[in-house]
Amino acid sequence: MLTRRFVLAGAAAAAAAPKRPDFFDGQTVVIGGEERVLTDIVAPSPAPLNGRAEPGAEFALQALAAFAAAHQPLPGARSPLDRWGRAMGPARFAGAGGAETILQAALLEAGAVRVAPQSNDETLLDAYFAAEDRARTARLGIWALGAYVVRDTRDESRAYGFHIYRGAVRSTGENRGRVYFNFGEDFRKDVTATAARGAFRRWRRKEGLQFYEGRTVELRGLLEWINGPSIDLRHERQLRLL
């Protein structure tokens, strides 16, 4: 893991040095001669479709450059490939003395990215969330920026992209093959999370929908506006019990 001192010093050095990843768009990176999908995390994009870098994108790039300067791909490490031939899963690197470090965990410790769960490795996801919690508590990197504040589920203001909300589940329901977690009295304008019924039944937590009612959770994902702010739960850990 990167210490705060290392991250700050490394980022400053990277800013002054020409060594940077060959490519980085917030979701994929070419590092160590290999194109990788940044599985289980989401980073501020330096080149989104609207052409304006997202807040914190330069910090994320500097943290990534600092990591690349101090680590080499772990010898013998193999990663599964997606249909486009990009490496997936935890990016395993060797640091000083050959110690194994996972790129995603290091970026989370630096406060450069947020957890966006995709994989089914519960132990790894636990470590990722713990790293994010530490960086958020210390207000490192993007956590010092208003754009990444954890939003209250009672906040109905317009927002776009990936966001984190916190609040109590007011009610739950099921309709037309989907399950719903409502965070307000009026589902037509309040924050709502929804999941495919079949996917919900495959969640590791087997309690029924009513188990969540009244519980405080952290909700994260891409925000859509469907009768108010809505997040599609494609992974169980997007809804995190607190």
Three-state secondary structure call for residue 102: strand
* pLDDT value of residue 224: 93
**Which of residues 110, 144, 178 is at a domain's end?**
144
**pLDDT tens string for the chain (242 positions)?**
434 433 333 444 334 443 456 678 888 898 878 899 999 999 998 877 777 899 999 999 999 999 999 999 888 778 999 999 999 999 999 988 889 999 999 999 999 999 999 999 999 999 999 999 999 999 999 999 999 999 999 987 888 899 999 999 999 999 999 999 999 988 778 899 999 999 999 999 888 999 999 999 999 999 999 888 999 999 999 999 99
Say how many domains are in the chain. Answer: 2
Whether 130 and 166 share a structural domain? no
Specify whether the CB–CB gap between 47 and 53 falls below 8 A. yes
pTM of the model: 0.87
Whether 216 and 101 share a structural domain? no
Whether 154 and 137 share a structural domain? no
* pLDDT value of residue 31: 86
Whether 111 and 170 share a structural domain? no
Specify whether the CB–CB gap between 119 and 125 falls below 8 A. yes
H helical segments located in the chain: 4-16, 57-70, 103-109, 122-137, 197-201
Whether 164 and 203 share a structural domain? yes
* pLDDT value of residue 6: 36
* pLDDT value of residue 26: 81
* pLDDT value of residue 20: 55
* pLDDT value of residue 203: 93
- The residue among 97, 100, 39 whose CA lies nearest residue 73 is 100
Cα 152 to Cα 35, 90, 116, 188, 239, distances in angstroms: 36, 31, 19, 17, 14
Tell me the two tokens of residue 16.
């002054």
* pLDDT value of residue 22: 62
Whether 136 and 167 share a structural domain? no
